């Protein structure tokens, strides 16, 4: 298939990934190309080679422009980039477009495209994306939710045609049968208030185990006022790590503390920790209860540090092999790509069905004195 993937533009789709959406988009594009599909990824300019980049702008969160009339320059740049892309796609030769952005324009303009589109819902509803989805009038369009939780959150706006759980490369997050000899628990992800790192720090101190932290600092004020003062010999931030280093850090932990302060749409960090064989102690929010079961994790009352500490102590006793098994069952990228391939084919078949029906109808209206080779064409057309 000839597949166009629309990424979001705020951060590069490259390691070290700024977050789960960047990692997911990179993995999807690479996996589809590995399966022989012709994939073009429409993203910002800074990108790892080999996954079919066609840059449509520079990163809106990093670069600035001299447009004094635009009060919000990143918003203006994104709007212009997606508007230009959607106009261009009307004349491109793709079998299907996969909209993996969080922007309102691709979905609002889906009906202008000659090919079908799939839009993945990665987040709970927010005003801009919700407005675009309400304007989506495309017949050959399908919405996919990354969890049942996300599908339910969007149900008042649109129906999700499928739930396809995100997947990870299980080879990159290899199973660690034993943790490191020096015990510690781990937290990793984007360092922003809604990820709740400050609560993980408090819980780790209640448990009495060192906490190692990995991830990019995306809110300087939060880090300066709430995280940096809490660091010490037992609480360390090791930086923003690439896959190999991150997998080694996570795999050596006794447990992973997951502390979302919002309805986590999926939780790739949970999948990665399970793949490494690391039990989870997590706030019961969003999709996390869909991923975990009692063999691999313990759920805690949201925002309750004491409950999280108790969950972490219980999680320490979970079997690491069971954690890996759960990841293989729920979080394998191969399963995810299988499901997207099947959805693409259904959408393409649905989009081409009217033209096949028209062709069949026109053949049946032809005179009965058709030559033999036309009769063969008629039988072929009527069987699809």
Sketch the domain layout of the chain as residue ranges. Answer: 2-67+74-167+333-349, 185-331
| Percent of the chain with pLDDT strictly greater than 70 | 88
CATH number of the structural domain 2-67+74-167+333-349: 3.40.50.2000
pLDDT of residue 380: 39
pLDDT tens figures, 330-365:
999 999 999 999 999 999 999 987 655 555 555 454
Closest CA to 278 of 230, 336, 212: 212
Least confident of 1-15, 246-260, 271-285: 1-15
Quick check: 224 pLDDT over 80? yes
Mean pLDDT, rounded, for 111-127: 96
Q: What tokens does 333 get?
A: 């990228």
Query: 71: which residues sit within 8 A by CB, 6+ positions away?
Result: none
Q: What whole-number distance in Å separates Cα of residue 279 and Cα of residue 174?
A: 14
Closest CA to 258 of 274, 246, 270: 270
End-to-end CA distance of the chain: give it in Å, rounded.
Answer: 18
pLDDT of residue 361: 52
Quick check: 141 pLDDT over 60? yes
- Tell me the pLDDT of the chain averaged across its residues: 89
Mean pLDDT, rounded, for 224-232: 97
Helices (H), 282-332: 288-291, 305-315, 320-330
Model pTM score: 0.82
Mean pLDDT, rounded, for 108-126: 96
- 51 pLDDT band (50/70/90 cuts)? confident
Whether 2-67+74-167+333-349 shares its CATH topology with 185-331 is answered yes
pLDDT of residue 10: 82
Quick check: 68 pLDDT over 80? no
Q: What whole-number distance in Å separates Cα of residue 323 and Cα of residue 331?
A: 11
> Torsions phi, psi of 40, nearest 5?
-120, 125
Mean pLDDT, rounded, for 64-92: 79
Least confident of 40-44, 142-146, 322-326: 40-44
Quick check: 52 pLDDT over 90? no
Mean pLDDT, rounded, for 14-22: 82
The CATH architecture that domain 185-331 belongs to is 3-Layer(aba) Sandwich (3.40)
Quick check: 280 pLDDT over 50? yes
Query: 65: which residues sit within 8 A by CB, 6+ positions away?
Result: 73, 77
Helices (H), the chain: 20-34, 73-89, 104-108, 127-134, 148-154, 197-207, 220-222, 243-251, 268-275, 288-291, 305-315, 320-330, 333-364, 372-382
Neighbours of 41 (CB within 10 A): 25
Closest CA to 277 of 140, 144, 173, 163: 173
Closest CA to 166 of 274, 93, 322, 243: 274
Q: What tokens does 139 get?
A: 């017949």
pLDDT of residue 367: 42
- 384 pLDDT band (50/70/90 cuts)? very low
Q: Which of 10 and 2 is assigned the larger pLDDT?
A: 2
């Amino acid at each position: 298939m000839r597949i166009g993937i629309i990424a979001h533009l705020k951060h590069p789709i490259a390691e070290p990934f700024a977050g789960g959406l960047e990692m997911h988009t990179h993995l999807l594009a690479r996996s589809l190309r590995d399966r022989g599909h012709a994939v073009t990824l429409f993203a910002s300019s800074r990108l790892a080679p080999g996954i079919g980049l066609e840059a449509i702008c520079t990163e809106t969160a990093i670069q600035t422009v001299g447009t004094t009339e635009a009060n919000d320059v990143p918003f203006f740049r994104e709007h212009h980039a997606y508007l230009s892309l959607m106009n261009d796609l009307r004349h491109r030769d793709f079998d299907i477009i996969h909209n993996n952005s969080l922007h309102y324009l691709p979905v609002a303009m889906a009906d202008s495209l000659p090919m079908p589109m799939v839009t993945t819902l990665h987040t709970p509803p927010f005003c801009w994306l919700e407005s675009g989805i309400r304007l989506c009038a495309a017949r050959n369009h399908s919405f996919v939710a990354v969890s049942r939780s996300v599908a339910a959150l969007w149900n008042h706006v649109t129906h999700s045609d499928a739930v396809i759980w995100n997947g990870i490369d299980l080879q990159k997050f290899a199973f660690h049968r034993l943790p490191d000899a020096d015990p510690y628990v781990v937290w990793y992800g984007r360092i922003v208030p809604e990820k709740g790192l400050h609560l993980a720090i408090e819980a780790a101190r209640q448990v009495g185990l060192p906490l190692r932290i990995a991830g990019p600092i995306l809110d300087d004020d939060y880090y300066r006022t709430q995280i940096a003062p809490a660091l010490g010999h037992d609480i360390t931030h090791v930086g923003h790590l690439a896959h190999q280093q991150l997998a080694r850090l996570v795999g050596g932990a006794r447990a992973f503390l997951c502390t979302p302060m919002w309805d986590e749409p999926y939780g790739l960090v949970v999948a990665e920790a399970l793949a490494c064989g690391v039990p989870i102690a997590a706030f019961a929010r969003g999709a996390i209860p869909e991923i975990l079961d009692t063999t691999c994790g313990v759920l805690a009352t949201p925002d309750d540090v004491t409950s999280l500490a108790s969950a972490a102590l219980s999680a320490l006793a979970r079997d690491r092999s069971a954690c890996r098994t759960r990841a293989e069952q729920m979080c394998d990228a191969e399963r995810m790509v299988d499901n997207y391939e099947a959805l693409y084919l259904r959408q393409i078949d649905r989009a081409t069905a009217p033209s096949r029906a028209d062709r069949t109808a026109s053949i049946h209206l032809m005179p009965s004195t058709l030559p033999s080779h036309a009769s063969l064409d008629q039988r072929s057309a009527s069987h699809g």
